Homo-oligomer: A and B are copies of this chain.
Amino acid sequence: MKTTWDMRYSKRIQSMKASTIRKLLKFTEMEDVISFAGGLPAPKIFPKEEFAKACARTFAEKSEVALQYGTTGGYYPLRKYLAENNQLGMKFSPDNIIITSGSQQSLDLLGRAFVNRGDHILVESPTYLGAIQAWNAFGAEYIPAMIDNDGVIPEEFRKSLRYGAKFAYIQPNFHNPTGVSIPLERRKAIIEIADHYGIPIVEDDPYGQLAMDCGKVDSLIKLDSQYRDCGGSYCGDVVYLGTFSKVLAPGMRIAYMIAPTNVIQKINLAKQGADLHTATFNQVVVYETIKDGFLDEHVQLIRRVYAERRDTMLKALKENFRDGYSWTHPEGGLFIWATLPDHIDTTELLQYAVEEKVAFVPGMHFFPGTHKTTNQIRLNFSNANPTLIVEGIKRLLTAIEKYEKNTLTVKNLA
């Protein structure tokens, strides 16, 4: 029923659409569907014992801090820990760090602090949907830069940057949706090109710690900082987004942004109005969980479990699909990106897949511009166990066979 509210929506919200993925997720979360659609971590390896111990310590020793209002910047011991112990092998000042309510909020706060209506942001094509959704709220437009199996192509990046951009948004490690990573030489080229055109970079790195079988490649923020001496505090051109969602648990909603102190101050202002501060309780619990080095050991476990699942999916793909099919071979992260024969429209295929009780995300949703492919899919391998992965890929084959048969029939009839 319509109320007086319905005549009063902002222009902003009228132009917003529900995330297709989140709509799909509802659809595919029925008990008996094997879902390769979401980006969900494996719940079996959530560190619940360690969390339970950390909670007990928090209530015993720090309840008055943990349950009270906190500062907008975040719980100081957690910021200090991250400044000194991080996956980047760098030292920061705690003033280079703000704690956010998940990386989605980091993206939103960047939009608030930097995006005017009509501003252009350079993004990889395809790219992470949530970033587009966050920045659409502020009227951003997008310049897509093509990627290949080694991530964003420097020459494409250079061409796109020539038009100018507020900033460039890059996922260098196990990119969502494709799973590809950028090798060191390309990273250096990207930093040089961005520096040449004076365009800063947002480096989104939710999966960097989930490297399974590759050596650690320097992050963009590290490569950038080598050009500068900021005297103990970071003052470069890269803003780095990290999160505990993939290495601990997404239900805690604890992430962080690393940036020059001036930027952190502006982001702090934006966050004050948005939600005052991130839940103090969760920040204390996360700090209590990781402060003695637990993450080092826990990410080993995650890597082993996910490597097995990825290998299982790659093997199943190889056994079921032949000519005309190809897919990425990610060295970490959560996703494989598969390219199907041209004549398959994966949005139409999804209906057949759901009938066979298997789900994926059609690739077209990840393209920011008008150039969208229709024959690609994103497959998540972290959430289902190996047995289900094997079964799910078989069901996918069945769905494709039925789709092709039906499409052929329709064409013959036409």
Against B, the Cβ 8 Å flags (1 = close, 0 = not) of A254-277 are 000001101100101110111111
B102 touches A22 (CB 8 A): no
Q: A22-B272, A68-B43, A249-B67 are in contact. Are A3 and B52 (CB under 8 A)?
A: no
- Tell which of B112, B272, B279 touches A251, judged by Cβ atoms closer than 8 Å: B279
A67 touches B46 (CB 8 A): yes
B66 touches A251 (CB 8 A): yes
Compute how far the CA of A166 lies from the CA of B9 in the bound complex, rounded to whole angstroms. 9
| Copies of this chain | 2
Compute how far the CA of A5 lies from the CA of B16 in the bound complex, rounded to whole angstroms. 27
Compute how far the CA of A8 lies from the CA of B119 in the bound complex, rounded to whole angstroms. 10
B67 touches A252 (CB 8 A): yes
B10 touches A67 (CB 8 A): no
CB of A64 within 8 A of chain B? yes
Contacts of A249 in B (CB 8 A): 67-68, 281
A115 touches B263 (CB 8 A): no
Compute how far the CA of A5 lies from the CA of B110 in the bound complex, rounded to whole angstroms. 11
CB of A331 within 8 A of chain B? no
- Tell which of B16, B44, B198, B275 touches A253, judged by Cβ atoms closer than 8 Å: B275
Contacts of A105 in B (CB 8 A): 274-275
CB of A55 within 8 A of chain B? yes
Compute how far the CA of A5 lies from the CA of B68 in the bound complex, rounded to whole angstroms. 33
B108 touches A275 (CB 8 A): yes
Closest to A279 in B: B253
Task: Name the distance in Å between A350's Cβ and chain B's nearest Cβ.
Answer: 20
Contacts of A136 in B (CB 8 A): 273
- Tell which of B46, B49, B262 touches A6, judged by Cβ atoms closer than 8 Å: B262
Contacts of A22 in B (CB 8 A): 71-72, 272
B114 touches A8 (CB 8 A): yes
A51 touches B43 (CB 8 A): no
Compute how far the CA of A17 lies from the CA of B130 in the bound complex, rounded to whole angstroms. 28
Not counting A3-B235, A48-B67, A105-B274, a sample of 19 additional A-B residue pairs whose C-beta atoms are within 8 angstroms of each other reads A3-B236, A3-B262, A4-B198, A5-B200, A5-B262, A6-B262, A10-B116, A13-B112, A17-B269, A18-B268, A38-B69, A43-B67, A46-B63, A49-B59, A67-B252, A104-B274, A130-B276, A250-B280, A281-B282
